[in-house]
Amino acid sequence: MLTGFSPSSLPFSAPPHADAPDSWVDRLLLAGPGGEECLHLGAPLDRDALRTLVDEQAAQLTATGLGPGGTVALRLPPSVAFVAALLACWRLGAQVALLDHRLTDHEVDAAVARLAPQVLVGSAHRPAAALRGFSVVEPVAVRLPDGRPARTGHALVQLSSGSTGPAKVIARTASDLLRELDCYRRLADVRDAPGSAARPGSPGFPGEGERVVLLSSVVHVLGLVGGLLNSLYARAALTVPERMTAAGILAAVAAGERPTTLIGVPFHAELLAGAAAPPPLPQLRRMVVAGELVRPGLPALFTARYGVPLGTMYGMTETGVIATDLDGTLHPAKRPVHGMRLRLVGGELRIGAAASPYPGLDDPTRWSNGWLHTRDAAELDEATGHVTVLGRLDSQVSIGGLKVDLTEVEQTLTALPAVREAVVVFEDGAIEAYLATEPDADLASVQDGITRRLAGYKRPRRLALLPHLPRTATGKLLRDPAALRGAAAR
């Protein structure tokens, strides 16, 4: 039950969203036959049951004073409660900020001070253990005395992954979320090309009557929009595994008969590609990953293991999906999604965006004159329109006057036989490499492989071999030099 304050104590005065989110939640996300299964987090949940839960959450939130123009932060683990609370907040016209449940109390306090929500919705129970895919929790709402009503008409506020530095505050309107859902609808109509690992002519992104097994976090853009919201919108049943291990993920796939798509990050594909003797999975149609560059060789390894394509997507928290290669035939290139405008300026990829996604931040190096600066280096094929993302623009460094692309060094290292993952950074004028290696990896052999593959000025001056590399809460490899050095020291 939601508790914490009375209606009269919250004078929400900001205007409701211009996009009327209450209408799109009911019309586009909750609509459909009542008995149709839409979620499976430990047990199946049909649309009638979900609508009832959203009604209950909306009534409880209304009783606390939340309404159009209000602001709320959700700090809930993946759960049915998260879904119901999120949709209820939007139905009421509130602006919702998502906080990862894995953040510490100190990190949550810092985020709340930065975002100033009027209501914080958390859990009355401790979330499940780290490898659990979902929790069973009861939401609890607390009024925050210094909270402010919404100053913009955005429906969603997110924090970037923070893999390369402090997280950015990013906001999106309901209209922009609907635009992205329309992109996924169009991708569902795309047919695989001959030569892909999927059956030629099979449909692309999961749609009605199919199934999604979601591995990505629902508080970040891929899991939230590409996973949760699109599954509700497209009427594809969404499953979250009980355990985020290779065995747990494969068991979740095997538990349903519908054509199934796995959605996650490259880490999940690496995990599954290394699984010993996976069972036959005739329902598995493909896996789609996003969030980082996929290391060379992983798509072929995954397809050899499961007989289906490893599709890739490129996107940003600011825009959602930008370009895709769902059947793996274009790798490493991708095809821009419907309506996406791309251009290169000085080697940087820029995305057409009518307004800045950074509320209250006037920074022409991030957004200017209708163009979003991705800070990613890329190539655009003028003949096909395909885009190839090369890595972060700041991965280009100078060593003794010679240009070195740290992404190239990183991908060369991950191609070494004993290396599973690599992060390469530039610190104090030198290249540092942190490698996750096989248990029997030999430092001398790794160094010999580096010597044979990289010119002297490209080789790391510092090299650390670890069993695992540190990651952000979303599963991205951490690239902060201090954190990497700390992991190596431990």
Task: Output the 3-class SS for 165-178.
Answer: CCCCEEEECHHHHH
CB 120 within 8 A of CB 142: yes
Q: Which two tokens stand for residue 394?
A: 């700041």
pLDDT given for residue 14 in this prediction = 35
pLDDT at residue 23 above 50? yes
pLDDT at residue 208 above 90? yes
Domains and CATH numbers, the chain: 7-163 (3.40.50.980), 175-335 (3.40.50.12780), 341-393 (no CATH), 400-489 (3.30.300.30)
CB 249 within 8 A of CB 215: yes
Distance, CA of 289 to CA of 268 (rounded, Å):
8
Q: Which two tokens stand for residue 212?
A: 């999604």
Sign (positive/negative) of CA torsion 381, 382, 385, 387? positive
The set of residues, in sequence order, having a beta carbon less than 8 Å from that of 407 and lying 6+ positions away, is: 293, 377, 390, 391, 392, 395, 424
User: For 386-409, what is each residue's pLDDT tens digit?
Assistant: 999 988 887 778 786 677 888 889
Residue type, 4: G
pLDDT given for residue 2 in this prediction = 34
Helices 406-414 and 443-453 meet at what angle, rounded to 10?
Answer: 130
Q: What is the DSSP letter of 99?
A: -
Neighbours of 303 (CB within 10 A): 19
Percent of the chain with pLDDT over 70: 90
More confident residue, 35 or 11: 35
More confident residue, 189 or 273: 273
pTM: 0.82
From residue 382, alpha-carbon distances to 107, 183, 342, 387 in Å are 44, 22, 11, 9
pLDDT at residue 9 above 60? no
pLDDT-wise least confident of 15-29, 44-58, 159-173: 15-29
Residue 202 pLDDT grade (very low, low, confident, very high; cuts 50, 70, 90): low
Residue 200 pLDDT grade (very low, low, confident, very high; cuts 50, 70, 90): low
CB 272 within 8 A of CB 244: no
The full DSSP string for 286-314 is: EEEE-SSPPPTTHHHHHHHHHSS-EEEEE
